[in-house]
Amino acid sequence: MWDRRILKSNAKTALKDKYWLAFTVTLLSAVIAAGFGGIYTFISKLFSFFASPFDYFRILISLDFINNSLYFPDTLISIFVGLPITVGVARFFVQNHFGVTEFETMFSGFKREYLNGVGALFVTQLFVILWGLLLIVPGIIKGIQYIMVPYIISDNPIMPGSRARQISRIMTEGEVGTIFVLLLSFIGWFILGALSFGIGTYFVIPYYEATKAELYIFLRDRVIQTKQVHPAEFGLVPPNDAEPQYE
């Protein structure tokens, strides 16, 4: 069994002398994943203003403002840029635990099997959303069951999304409640950060991400030790003919 206090303590140790690099990674990932969409929208609106001020102000004051804010490009950016960044950030914090802390790791999702990673995370998030549409609780449960998918894909970029979700369910089996409590234990920090105009939340995210990485490392080791998953599936040893080969 694992203890959330130990995970948090290990996360603090992993971040020692590396906090500001981790902060830069998480802040930049937020800017890239969400900010570029906002920048695109701003530039497009600015162009609309110079092209036709009347049309610009008509859109600005209309009740249909959200639908006219070029949401579709934002969505594409979230999928094709945000999801690979999610994989890269997961890899950054796992490697940071082992003392390999490199800024460019956050972009690793673009370098290794890019489309497979995008597809795996997109379908995973779609499943979570669809479950959430049924009821909130099933959506939360699915979200926790699949919480390890970005880490698994970061370890083994060629793994099909279906297998990554299966392994994530194996890793979190019987742990959904305790993982939920672990995530919930950060709510105080995030509320405190929100009180400072929301800026303070960005200072909490490295600690939060490092703790999730510690949980992944523990659960990964456990399923390997219990022989539920072969280490080759996590990219920890070279695959052999007896282990699954992905095409």
User: Which of 101, 176, 90, 171 minimizes the C-alpha distance to 131?
Assistant: 176
Write down the pLDDT at residue 34: 61
pTM above the 0.75 mark? yes
Q: Are 193 and 201 in contact (CB under 8 A)?
A: yes
Residue corresponding to tokens 């950030």 = 89
* Cα separations in angstroms, 72 against 2, 41, 81, 199: 42, 10, 14, 27
Q: What is the pLDDT of residue 69?
A: 43
Please list the pLDDT of the chain residue by residue as tens digits (247 residues): 899 999 999 999 999 999 999 999 999 988 876 655 554 454 454 554 454 444 444 444 444 444 444 455 667 778 888 899 999 999 999 999 999 999 999 999 999 899 999 999 999 999 998 888 878 888 899 999 999 999 999 999 999 999 999 999 999 999 999 999 999 999 999 899 888 877 888 999 999 999 999 999 999 999 999 999 999 999 998 877 555 655 5
Name the residue among 175, 128, 169 with its Cα closest to residue 2: 175
**CA–CA separation, 163 vs 105, rounded Å?**
24
Question: How far, in Å, CA of 201 to CA of 48, rounded?
Answer: 34
Residue 11: inside a domain: yes
Exposed/middle/buried for residue 142 (C-beta within 10 Å: 0-12, 13-18, 19+): buried
Residue 204 lies in a domain: yes
- Asked whether residue 217 is domain-assigned, the answer is yes
- Is the residue at 243 inside a domain? no
Inside any domain, residue 18: yes
| Distance of alpha carbon 231 from alpha carbon 245, whole angstroms | 13
Q: In this structure, is residue 241 part of a structural domain?
A: no
- So what's the pLDDT on residue 237? 87
- Residue 82 is assigned to a structural domain of this protein: yes
Residue 124 φ then ψ, to 5°: -60, -50
CA distances from 165 to 12, 91, 181, 227, 228 (A): 28, 17, 21, 18, 14
Sign of CA dihedral 110, 113, 114, 116: negative
Q: Which domain holds residue 145?
A: 4-230
Count of structural domains, the chain: 1
pLDDT at res. 32: 77
Give the list of residues 6+ apart from residue 234 with CB closer than 8 angstroms, or none. 152, 155, 156, 220, 224
> Does residue 245 belong to any structural domain of this protein?
no
Cα 242 vs. chain centroid, distance in angstroms? 31
d(C-alpha 179, C-alpha 212), whole Å: 9
